[in-house]
Amino acid sequence: MDRPPLDPGPPVSGDPPDAEGQTLLAVVPGMERPGPLADFLAHLAYERGLSHNSILAYGGDLSAFADFLRPSGKDLLQAAEEDILAFLEAAKLSGLAEHTLARRLVSLKVFFRYAVAAGLVPRNPARSLESPRMWKILPHTLSVPEVEALLAAPDSSTPRGLRDRAILETLYATGLRASELVGLSLDSLHPDEHVVRVVGKGNKERIVPIGRQALDAIRDWLENGRPHYVPRRGSRALFLSKKGGPLTRIWLWRIIRRYAAAAGISKHISPHTLRHSFATHLLEHGADLRAIQEMLGHADISTTQIYTHVDLSRLKFMHTAFHPRA
């Protein structure tokens, strides 16, 4: 096919182009089957003359994004800006270095610039995104109606549904990390004081308030759900798996995705999405940033300040809606 003479910019890896533009593409991710990604990588190799290492980087980054999209039923050409942001946030949470995240965004920008020039998509969904210094990537959050729909999704007539509803209520009520939630024990809960004792990063302990509705859901689970599960000998885990042991973070991620689908939520969400929503909704309703920092267990206030950027979008809306000269 004829490919547009598009300059993809500097090679991602920093390697100089091969002199004769010859690249071994057989082992490059994305070249396994015909399609837009394979055409794009061939364009970079044979028309732009990028090095093998650069092609590998582009192919790996774009294949990772395609894999990320697959559970939602989308392909690369159907991706939106929010899909890219969710992809980068998930990569950040998995521990990828900042320079790797920045390279992934470059790969996406170049691919979609090519796709626009080739007439494959009407617009570049990555065009307005800046290089991802991670404090600039705003976390995905749910609206209050979306949270309510998610919390209502489990079937509370079953022991499993009671457990899952209590888990979702606890995540949203406390803003706990996934590892902190699965690490809760029966001794972590102090219902009379409306708090939970949490062991967070660096084995640091903190006390987090928990609301009445979450406590009611936990009480319902303990009285009517947990007795149907047989805990392993000596297990004091608050939330049990089918085998009677503590839950895993992978399992927690899967259950949230399942209930999000049941609630009709199309966003890519994770346990961290409820943590972000917890903090954002507190800030929107006037909570002090330092208090949010303490509840989230952030060592540095600068980490918590990302939520002020999230809230800025609401402030802009209010300004546009109500200022007489907006």
pLDDT in tens, 202-244: 788 999 999 999 999 999 999 999 999 988 887 899 999 988 8
pLDDT tens string 63-91: 999 999 988 889 999 999 888 988 988 88
Hey, which residues does 246 pair with through a beta bridge?
A: 240
The strands making up 189-190's β-sheet, listed across from edge to edge, are 189-190, 195-199, 205-209
Residues constituting the chain: 326
90 close to 268: Cβ distance less than 8 angstroms:
yes
Hey, which residues does 189 pair with through a beta bridge?
A: 196
153 close to 263: Cβ distance less than 8 angstroms:
yes
The CATH code belonging to domain 36-127 is 1.10.150.130
Phi, psi of 11 (to 5 degrees): -55, 140
**Domain spanning 144-321: CATH superfamily:** Intergrase catalytic core (1.10.443.10)
Q: Catalytic amino acids?
A: 177, 201, 272, 275, 298, 307
Structural domain boundaries of the chain? 36-127, 144-321
Report d(CA 130, CA 102) in Å as an integer: 9
Predicted pLDDT at 19 = 33
Classify strands 195-199 and 205-209 as parallel, antiparallel or unpaired: antiparallel
Report d(CA 36, CA 111) in Å as an integer: 9
Report d(CA 247, CA 203) in Å as an integer: 19
Name the token pair of 291: 């208090």
60 close to 29: Cβ distance less than 8 angstroms:
yes
Kindly state the greatest CA–CA separation across the chain.
74
Report d(CA 129, CA 66) in Å as an integer: 19
Report d(CA 112, CA 255) in Å as an integer: 32
Predicted pLDDT at 63 = 93
175 close to 304: Cβ distance less than 8 angstroms:
no
Indicate the residue type of 6: L
Predicted pLDDT at 210 = 95
241 close to 247: Cβ distance less than 8 angstroms:
yes
Q: Which helix (H) or strand (E) holds 314?
A: helix 306-322
List the pLDDT tens digit at each of the 326 positions of the chain. 443 333 344 333 333 333 333 334 445 665 666 789 988 988 887 767 677 888 889 999 999 999 999 888 899 999 998 889 889 888 887 878 878 888 899 999 999 999 998 899 999 998 877 654 443 455 678 999 999 999 999 999 999 999 999 999 999 999 998 889 999 999 999 999 999 999 887 788 999 999 999 999 999 999 999 999 988 887 899 999 988 888 888 888 889 989 999 999 988 788 888 998 999 899 888 888 889 889 998 887 877 777 776 655 555 655 666 666 65
